[in-house]
């Protein structure tokens, strides 16, 4: 994907360029060490969110460190070179009025502090030590390993989590460890400080990160603070990301998960477009997904309004490598075969350009835009969305998203249906109880 602002960054390493993003004033620049800085002024409330987004996550994992990107996330909020103990770290959190969290997904890791904007300088200092100089104290590491193991056990105690994991394993069987952010019990239990240091040296470098600051900010003062606390962050080697790509399915796969559930679930999952390879198709897939969730859409009427399924939805997950498009239903086990027939019969109709009517497309675009804007209402959500898209693509994808939605028409929708769904290999997952599995031959 084209780096739309690369020339601007080269010319102004330490001097931000003034632009707008979704009608908000924005400044962007790159420090000499490679750190991309994105500042966005929003709202009138005296709060701000400071976030570090890192191009890391499950997709950088091997079988030997499966889940350690997530464990690293936990260690981020521990002692560092200035606030060395957990007590000192927690005390500083309280002093600055910080709300904080982090998240690890397949292709991004994001950490953020939301705090009063009057504490901007101190907040950036606090964030800088967390990212530049973590201690990885061995006692704290053992504590967090237990916390992550509790998360692991809690997640897998939920039938639906196990079910979705099995569907993902079937879709990405060859390199599933690059989709498994939660990891494995064995790897988590045996994690070492040396492995944390290795992840830091490989991926937690300024030239693999973005500093995103959103809210009630003064650009000049914030720029000064960024220079004060982040210019000494040592540039690392450019990360070597996995060279292997998730292969496409070579046959249809069926996954049956038996659980003690009162209502069955069925998922039909296809490989969708990937950002970078088929970027234009990702916008059409978003529109298609929203359209299929609408109550006015024929598939919704045939499945939900007839009572054939209890619930029905569709989803598309935008990724660089391994984006997926899925149907989700809950239903009686006896209705599985009929539901599949209706879904695939309707999909066959969608391959024709005249299937998608202008009024339905218009509604789907409006709903997609509304959802996009709704996710930007708080400084926190705004920063997290910018960070996500920066990690999987660049800031240009985020900035141009709404404009590219408008370009989608019926021809493009028919194209993506034919390209990614009609006649393409897919995974069908069914979760049901033992008796239903036996009765209906699953």
pLDDT of residue 5: 36
143 CB burial (10 A radius; 0-12, 13-18, 19+): middle
Take residue 260 and report the two structure tokens written for it: 């003690």
State the CATH class of domain 6-230: alpha beta
In contact, 100 and 216? CB cutoff 8 Å: no
Q: Element (H or E) spanning 330, and its range?
A: strand 324-331
330 CB burial (10 A radius; 0-12, 13-18, 19+): middle
Provide the greatest CA pair distance for the chain: 69
Neighbours of 238 (CB within 10 A): 10
Give CA separation, 237 vs 6, 200, 201, 205, in Å.
19, 12, 9, 8
pLDDT of residue 6: 36
**Percentage helix, strand, coil for the chain under 3-state DSSP, each rounded to 5:** 50, 20, 30
Q: Where in the chain is the domain with CATH 3.30.830.10?
A: 6-230, 253-439
In contact, 188 and 27? CB cutoff 8 Å: no
Cα–Cα dist 17/28, whole Å: 6
Cα–Cα dist 94/116, whole Å: 12
Cα–Cα dist 388/25, whole Å: 20
DSSP string, 80-96: BSSS-SHHHHHHHHHHH
In contact, 327 and 262? CB cutoff 8 Å: no
In contact, 354 and 201? CB cutoff 8 Å: no
**What residues contact residue 421 under an 8 Å CB cut-off, 6+ apart?**
270, 325, 347, 350
R_g of the chain, CA atoms, integer Å = 23
pLDDT tens-digit map of 110-155: 999 999 999 999 999 999 999 999 999 999 999 999 999 999 999 9
pLDDT of residue 21: 86
Strand partners, 24: 21
CATH code of the domain occupying 253-439: 3.30.830.10
Give CA separation, 348 vs 251, 272, 309, 410, in Å.
19, 17, 20, 15
Cα–Cα dist 183/190, whole Å: 12
Say whether 101 sits in a helix, a strand or coil: strand
Regarding beta strands 36-41 and 24-30, do their DSSP bridges make them parallel or antiparallel, or are they unpaired?
antiparallel
pLDDT of residue 18: 58
Cα–Cα dist 90/101, whole Å: 13
Residues in the chain: 442
Cα–Cα dist 379/116, whole Å: 11
Give the residue from 277, 284, 299 showing the smallest Cα distance to 416: 284
Give the residue from 205, 200, 206, 208 showing the smallest Cα distance to 227: 206
Strand partners, 386: none
333 CB burial (10 A radius; 0-12, 13-18, 19+): buried
Cα–Cα dist 342/359, whole Å: 23
End-to-end CA distance of the chain: 43
pLDDT of residue 15: 42
**Mean pLDDT in each 10-residue stretch from start to end of the chain (442 residues)?**
36 51 93 98 92 97 96 96 96 98 97 98 98 97 97 95 97 97 96 97 98 97 98 94 92 97 97 97 98 94 96 97 97 97 96 90 96 94 97 96 96 96 97 96 92
Cα–Cα dist 442/439, whole Å: 8
Cα–Cα dist 140/193, whole Å: 10
**What residues contact residue 345 under an 8 Å CB cut-off, 6+ apart?**
none
């Amino acid at each position: 994907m084209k780096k739309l602002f690369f020339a601007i960054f080269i010319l102004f390493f330490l001097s931000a360029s003034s632009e707008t993003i979704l009608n908000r004033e924005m400044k962007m620049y790159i420090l000499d060490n490679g750190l991309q800085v994105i500042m966005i002024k929003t709202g009138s409330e005296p709060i701000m969110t400071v976030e570090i987004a890192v191009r890391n996550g499950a997709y950088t994992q091997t079988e030997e460190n499966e889940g350690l990107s997530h464990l690293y996330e936990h260690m981020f909020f521990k002692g560092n070179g200035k606030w060395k103990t957990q007590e000192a770290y927690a005390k500083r959190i309280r002093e600055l009025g910080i709300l904080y969290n982090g998240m690890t997904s397949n292709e991004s890791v994001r950490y953020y502090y939301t705090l009063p904007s009057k504490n901007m300088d101190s907040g950036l200092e606090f964030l800088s030590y967390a990212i530049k100089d973590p201690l990885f104290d061995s006692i704290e590491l053992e504590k967090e390993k237990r916390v992550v193991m509790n998360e692991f056990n809690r997640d897998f105690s939920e039938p639906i989590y196990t079910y979705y994991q099995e569907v993902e394993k079937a879709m990405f069987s060859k390199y599933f460890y690059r989709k498994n952010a939660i990891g494995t019990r064995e790897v988590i239990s045996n994690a070492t400080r040396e492995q944390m240091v290795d992840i830091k040296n490989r991926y937690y470098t300024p030239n693999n990160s973005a500093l995103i600051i959103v809210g009630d900010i003064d650009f000049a003062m914030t720029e000064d603070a960024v220079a004060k606390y982040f210019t000494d962050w040592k540039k690392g080697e450019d990360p070597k990301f996995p060279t292997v790509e998730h292969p496409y399915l070579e046959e249809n796969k069926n996954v049956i998960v038996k659980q003690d559930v009162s209502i069955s679930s069925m998922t039909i999952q296809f490989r969708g477009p990937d950002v970078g390879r088929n970027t234009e198709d990702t916008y059409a897939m978003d529109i298609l997904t929203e359209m299929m969730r609408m109550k006015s859409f024929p598939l919704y009427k045939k499945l939900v309004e007839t009572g054939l399924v209890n619930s029905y939805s569709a989803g598309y997950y935008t990724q660089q490598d391994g984006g997926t498009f899925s149907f989700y239903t809950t239903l009686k086990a006896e209705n599985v075969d009929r539901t599949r027939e209706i879904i695939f019969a309707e999909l066959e109709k969608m391959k024709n350009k005249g299937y998608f009517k202008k009024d339905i497309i218009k509604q789907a675009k409006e709903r997609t835009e509304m959802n996009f804007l709704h996710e930007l209402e708080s400084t926190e959500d705004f920063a997290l969305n910018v960070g996500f898209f920066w990690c999987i693509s660049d800031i240009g994808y985020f900035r141009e998203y709404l404009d590219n939605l408008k370009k989608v028409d019926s021809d493009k929708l028919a194209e993506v249906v034919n390209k990614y769904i009609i006649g393409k290999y897919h995974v069908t997952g069914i979760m049901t109880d033992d008796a239903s599995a036996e009765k209906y031959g699953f």
